[in-house]
Amino acid sequence: MKKANTILHLACAAGDLLTVRVLCKDPGVNISAKNVKVSHFNLLCVPNLNDSSFLLTLLKGDTPLHVACRRGEQKIAEVLVENGAELSVVNNKNEAPLQLVSAIHGMLNFTLPGSTFPYPQCY
């Protein structure tokens, strides 16, 4: 069975804090689900098909927390951690979520509850 992106992955990538909060409270949502494949539905949901960082996010075995960290969404990442997302889960490239925080987002002080910082920057 191949897994694709969940609605939580997409909400994190879109920076939709309200939707992330609602989904985190739903017992049927897996906060630690990994994405491994792009589906046609996911491509239809991409706000800007020229956004290569979004498309790359869909291919890496990321959890929603990976997606939020890569996109510099600190508030969303905080909500995910507060609702049980694990900081130590690695994606297919053996990257932990905080390792994906990019300097281009100006997030050099990006920290989350329970994290030990600094993590080495990947970008």
Per-residue pLDDT of the chain (123 residues; tens, 9 = 90+): 455 789 999 999 999 999 999 999 999 999 999 987 554 554 555 555 555 555 554 557 899 999 999 888 989 999 999 999 998 899 988 888 888 886 555 555 566 666 655 444 443
Q: How far is CA 46 from CA 22, 51, 52, 82, in A?
A: 20, 8, 10, 27
pLDDT of residue 119: 46
Domain ranges of the chain: 7-105
Q: Which helix (H) or strand (E) element contains residue 40?
A: helix 40-45
pLDDT of residue 32: 92
Alpha-carbon distance of 107 to 102, in angstroms, equals 7
- Does pTM surpass 0.85? no
Alpha-carbon distance of 80 to 74, in angstroms, equals 10
SS3 track for 41-97: HHHHHCCCCCCHHHHHHCCCCCCHHHHHHHCCCHHHHHHHHHCCCCCCCCCCCCCCH
pLDDT of residue 102: 63
pLDDT of residue 105: 59
Please give the CATH superfamily to which domain 7-105 belongs: Ankyrin repeat-containing domain (1.25.40.20)
